[in-house]
Structure 1
Amino acid sequence: MGGIGKTTLAKVIYNEIMDYFDSCSFLKDIRATVLHLGGLKCLQNQLAADLSRCKDQDFTTTDEGMDELQRRFREKKVLVVLDDVDDSNQLKELASVAWFGPGSRVIVTTRNKNALGLTPEELQYEVEEMNPVWSMELFCKHAFRSDSPTVELRALSDAIVNTTGGLPLALEVIGSYLCGKGKVIWKETLKKLKEKPHMKVQEKLRISYDSLELEQQKIFLDIACHFIGKDRRVAIHMWEDCKFYPESGLDELILRSLIKIGGDNTFWMHDQLRDLGRAIVQQEDEKEPGNRSRLWNNEEALSVLQEKKSTLACLRLEPSRYPPIVAL
């Protein structure tokens, strides 16, 4: 998922082993570069310039770039990092370890496992969220410039770190924001984080959501609002009736690390992704819950029903807190 630390990890590995290779190149933000800065030909030129240590590269087409990269560097032992790949064609036209000399390595970071097309010789590693001890240490490095919190802010630090779900991006962004701030700001920030993720974190996470098809987005929002911890079979029939093609939709969400399905067949979603989904639904109408497509808050859902406001929303009422509603 976004913000989990893929690029940071790749940079550490790159810096640790680069001296063992004849030439090296780190192509960052490939998704954004292809989208905004001239496409794959621009990246091929950069790759050739990095590996040859010459800046006058200018391929006229991507096909020429592929041919030239293989011809020039087939005898060189190279290290290439392709950061934030989101399409298999990007790998096809940028770099394959088979193009280069023996001992070469190509490291790829991606949010989309479909982009990899792994062969048996290739290895895959899924970056997981940080454990509580490391999460606190990372947060404190940014919030306090030390490895541990102050006595006065320890309890608030624990609460804030817990809301991030071990997401390094959130720990860094929120910690940096709170550095030097007073306790009142810390309390206010914690309250905001319990309602929705920090704006910068949300922007990073939303990239994966925006890349989904409409039906897949609806499935994602349904899970975020209603089905975390629920058996997938409870929802699958509903999505089939809605013609959302749920099997392929769920497969795409899993491949993009937006959800997981546990051994007990239940949905799991990172807390920050859950909060992103709910924030997207809230933005449909900030003031009037009855105009939103989904309601998950018990008080809001009950209020909409009691006031008999027109709504197309899906509702979730927890039976442990409220008796069944027969008529209103």
Structure 2
Amino acid sequence: MGGIGKTTIAKTAYNLNFGKFEGSSFIADISEISEQPNGLVRLQKQLLSDIVKGRKVKISSVDKGIIKIRDTICCKRVLLVLDDVDQLDQLNAILVMRDWFCPGSKIIITTRHEQLLKAHELDKIYKVEELNDHESFQLFYWHAFGPDHPIEAYSKKSKRVVQYCGGLPLAFQMLGSSLSGRLVDMWESTLKKLEAIPNSQILKKLKISFVSLQDDHDRNLFLNIACSFVRKDKDFTITILDNNKKLTMH
């Protein structure tokens, strides 16, 4: 889902490794850019410009872009990151020539849609999970207190934040930064407000996952589950739904 850390992990992998390749490109916000006029061509231009070290590239259509990409990458070991892919045509505009990539090249794709990866029969799929409690406290403390540990007055309230965020890294980053340096009373008022009105920036990220569901049926199902199982454990929710499914089948 949005805010789980897909882009952050991809950026880290890219920054640690791009120097080992003859060419590299990190293409961010693909789903957003592709919706703009000539979006796919713009993405192809960015890829080629990155690989040829900033030289201007002219592309008049997606098909011609594919040919230029093929001619450019066939003799270079490249590291390519395609971030936030949500449509098959976005992958096709670049990965249709996957077999032309020079041996040793690496492609990393981030997406909320696992079926897109399966459609291209990619080598490995890594599903990013929510943070566990230990990781959650570590990340929140880092953003709220820096290298220092929280004093006792903040410990119980920190537990409430961790419970509220549900293992979502973006939430810890945003709330930790907003609470940093504030008095305990301000923490309490912020937590009460969050319990009534969720943080707008976190909601914005989570909304992306909702909007990206395939159709109205999936969105309505999501809303029914969200409203019927408020504050319920995931395993409890799955058990109830599985039992209902079995009863329906019988």
Is the structural similarity TM-score above 0.5? yes
1:100 shift after superposition: 1.5
1:1-328 aligned within 5 A: 1-36=1-36, 38-95=38-95, 96-118=97-119, 122-146=123-147, 148-212=149-213, 213-227=215-229, 228-233=237-242
Highest Rg: 1 or 2? 1
Q: C-alpha distance in 2, partners of 1:48/1:13?
A: 20
Deviation track 1:19-46 (CA, whole Å, cap 9, x = no partner) reads: 2110000001111111246411001000
SS of the aligned residue for 1:9 comes to helix
The residue identity in structure 2 corresponding to 1:102 is: P
Deviation track 1:119-146 (CA, whole Å, cap 9, x = no partner) reads: 5561000001112122112112211122
1:9 shift after superposition: 0.4
Aligned residues: 240
1:216 shift after superposition: 1.5
1:62 shift after superposition: 0.4
Q: C-alpha distance in 2, partners of 1:139/1:55?
A: 42
Name stretches of at least 5 consecutive residues in structure 1 with no aligned partner: 241-328
Q: C-alpha distance in 1, partners of 2:183/2:75?
A: 59
SS of the aligned residue for 2:92 comes to helix
1:182 shift after superposition: 2.0
Native 8 Å contact 1:143 1:176 kept in 2: yes
SS of the aligned residue for 2:35 comes to helix
Deviation track 1:193-220 (CA, whole Å, cap 9, x = no partner) reads: 3345311011001012123322211110
Q: C-alpha distance in 1, partners of 2:120/2:212?
A: 25
The residue identity in structure 2 corresponding to 1:32 is: E
Q: C-alpha distance in 2, partners of 1:121/1:4?
A: 21
Q: C-alpha distance in 2, partners of 1:165/1:230?
A: 19
RMSD after superposition: 2.2
SS of the aligned residue for 1:106 comes to strand
Q: C-alpha distance in 2, partners of 1:124/1:175?
A: 31
The residue identity in structure 2 corresponding to 1:108 is: I
Among all aligned residue pairs of Structure 1 and Structure 2, give the percentage whose two residues are the same amino acid: 38
The residue identity in structure 1 corresponding to 2:100 is: W
SS of the aligned residue for 1:59 comes to coil
Deviation track 1:145-199 (CA, whole Å, cap 9, x = no partner) reads: 2253223211111211121111100000111111122222211222233345311
SS of the aligned residue for 1:166 comes to coil
What TM-score do you get using the length of structure 1 for normalisation?
Answer: 0.68
SS of the aligned residue for 2:59 comes to coil
Q: C-alpha distance in 1, partners of 2:83/2:117?
A: 12
Aligned to 1:256: none
Higher RCO, 1 vs 2 (CA within 8 Å, ≥6 residues apart): 2
What TM-score do you get using the length of structure 2 for normalisation?
Answer: 0.88
